[in-house]
Amino acid sequence: MAAARPFTTLTRLLDAADAAWRALPDSDVREALASHPRIGDRDASGDAAQEQSSGRDADPATARSLSIANREYEARFGRIFIVCATGKTAAQMLALCRERLHNDETTELRAAAEEQRRITRLRLERLAREA
């Protein structure tokens, strides 16, 4: 990304970020995914806290179910469940987690990577607006 600068438009920046992300080997994708807080984690901070606010503010039954689904996901895939939470309710995130529990490892890694790409894109768009 640094070598491709300067980006003359937001579209060029976003396209370069997408291309860079999609070119990463699976080991780098796993490393990036490992740094995210769990959905609904009350200890989330910064961008993650804002993006995941509906997960943290869920009703007790949904929060409990989301916590259980997160643990099931971690046991199955060895990493946290990641979803682009912006604009999603806790119930929607819970449904997505339960749905993705049925994926095989390869399919799920690609799904998780796509969610991370969406998160990165939203954060870059927000940074560009604030600049």
- Could you report the per-residue pLDDT of 62-95, keeping only the tens digit for each? 999 999 999 999 999 999 999 999 999 999 999 9
Q: Would you state the pLDDT for residue 38?
A: 80
Res. 35 pLDDT band, cuts 50 70 90: confident
CA 107, CA 7: separation in Å to the nearest integer? 32
Q: Give pTM, 2 decimals.
A: 0.83
CA 56, CA 48: separation in Å to the nearest integer? 11
Res. 39 pLDDT band, cuts 50 70 90: confident
Query: Quick one: tokens of 1?
Result: 């990304």
